[in-house]
Amino acid sequence: MSSSARTAGDLFVIAAASGTGKTSLIAALLERCPRLALSVSDTTRPARRGEIDGQHYHFVDVDAFRKGIEASRYLEHAEVFGNYYGTSRERVEALWREGRDVLLEIDVQGAAQVRQAHPDAGMVFILPPSLSTLGERLHGRGLDEPEVIRRRLDEARREIGACGDFDWLVVNDDFDRAVSELAAIVTAWPLRRARQSWRVRQLLDEDANAITIRD
Ligand code: 5GP
């Protein structure tokens, strides 16, 4: 039987400090792994230029978000830089029903909640080659003042310190290599023995005496 006999999809979390290049890595990973689908989060932050509602995020107001929390509609949620972000439980389950594996691009607070609720989720943390490279990248984006960059670097240091929640660390020093490493993780994760106990059972259920052996 092929691996399509798997019933439920896998869940992956990718987190990183801002400026680590996570978004581009994830876009390339999704192209390499067609079974993998990115769950689009809800957020209360305003859309940035070029962002499309329903594609980059579902942009909701604070009231709707709080109601969602009360109704347990979020698999995880967190406040990041003064805005709420959350993963819709229903959206993840719908993707699983479609036979997809689901990828969450979330922060470390949300990742810790996923670890609690889904201990079998594959958790990947992307590291910058160094804090100084990260500082240069943030500066190169031209989005933030030096003071903001310093705060982001402090935040990055805090997030990197929380990487103990994660199973895998990928360093984004060489983009193509980092994408290959992410794809390798996504490929290897469902091969864990615990994930394939059905396969072992199926083999052991076969009746060895009923097998015709040719001379
Ligand atoms: P941005 O506003 O730059 O798109 O995202 C800010 C941070 O929020 C990033 O670290 C991003 O990974 C995180 N984030 C995006 N969606 C979610 C989510 O659904 N849950 C959590 N916990 N964090 C999220």
- Each residue's pLDDT tens digit, 102-133: 999 999 999 999 999 999 999 999 999 999 99
- Residue 17 is predicted with a pLDDT of 86
Q: Categorize the per-residue pLDDT at 2 as very low, low, confident or very high, splitting at 50, 70 and 90.
A: very low
Could you read off the pLDDT of 138-161 as tens digits, one per residue? 898 888 889 989 998 999 999 999
Six-digit token string for 96? 């699983």
Chain segment 30-78, per-residue pLDDT in tens: 999 999 999 999 999 999 999 999 999 999 999 999 999 999 999 999 9
In the chain, the largest separation of any two C-alpha atoms, in whole Å, equals: 79
Percent of the chain surpassing pLDDT 90 = 80
Q: Which residues line ligand 1 (CB under 6 A)?
A: 18, 41, 45, 76, 78, 80, 85-87, 105-107, 109-110
pLDDT at position 202 is: 94
Task: Calculate the CA 191 to chain-centre distance.
Answer: 18
CB 187 within 8 A of CB 32: no
Per-residue pLDDT, averaged over 7-26, amounts to 91
Question: What's the chain's average pLDDT?
Answer: 93
Instruction: For ligand 1, pick from 40, 41, 51, 109 the residue to mutate: most ligand atoms within 8 Å of CB.
Output: 41
Residue identifier of the C-alpha nearest atom 3 of ligand 1: 18
Q: Which CATH class is domain 8-202?
A: alpha beta
Ligand 1 center from residue 84 Cα (angstroms): 9
SS3 77: strand
Q: Which range, of 49-63, 167-181, 188-202, averages the lowest pLDDT?
A: 188-202
pLDDT of residue 97: 96
Rounded distance between C-alpha atoms, residue 182 and residue 179, angstroms: 5
Whether the per-residue pLDDT at 199 is higher than 60: the answer is yes
User: What's residue 7's pLDDT?
Assistant: 58
Q: How far apart are CA 165 and CA 117, in angstroms?
A: 13
Whether residue 193 has pLDDT greater than 80: yes
Count of CB atoms situated within 10 Å of the CB of 28: 16
